[in-house]
Structure 1
């Protein structure tokens, strides 16, 4: 009977500790750029630059970033960085994450694009996390459309 009481008391202490954690608004993430990087073999690499906005009243410290990028509803690229930093209260920072694209993803996307009449308004979803330890890891999702230049037409 004592062990049951001990377990219940431990559970209540854990629940009260979780309820004392501060309420945080979710991070706001925007893709601000994609730049080519040197790849290896059949791999294509890019640096995805994201703006991370901290809409909270406390400084957010992070020690790594992970990203997954889907384009046209298909997995396209993923990447990680062990970059460390902090985002001040009610502040923002731009973080660059190198991502890799497999040859298979490039072929799949090329086929999907060939079925489209234009390269404008290609939907993307960016999922990721800023690692900040056990209680400070923040997950995020950003979505939108990519507007890529299409073929140039016109008279000479």
Structure 2
């Protein structure tokens, strides 16, 4: 156990990034569960047959492949709930941030807003890509969600570390 402790002490930034990714899985689990439930629910309402297109959100073309309004809403709701969970997990357990809540939360809301926009827009394109290369339709939403999560990590880790929850100087 001393070897692990020594490694952590020698590589605190790498250890923090590892914790960030491990504990992000709490939000990832929330994201997938909500996406699956949302897709089933919104599809059950027949919303997968209603095209949705607004600005960069294009769930109108190839509606049979991107699930239309049901696809848009399931990714949107899943990302919003996952980001809410992620704020508290990262602040408490990864960054152990002493950032004042009233200062951190507006910054995080801006970050979450950007992530939600990206995550609600990207699946229409990534789902089309996966279907076009011959991936089974049954796993396309899950793969699109995985792409979303990777994009979220690339954007959120440095933003949270240096802007939202910076280390106290």
TM-score, normalized by the shorter chain, greater than 0.5:
no
Q: Which has the higher strand share?
A: 1
RCO higher in structure (CA 8 A, sep ≥6): 2
Report the TM-score, using the length of structure 2 for normalisation.
0.34
Question: Highest CA radius of gyration, 1 or 2?
Answer: 1
Q: Which has the higher helix share?
A: 2
Report the TM-score, using the length of structure 1 for normalisation.
0.36
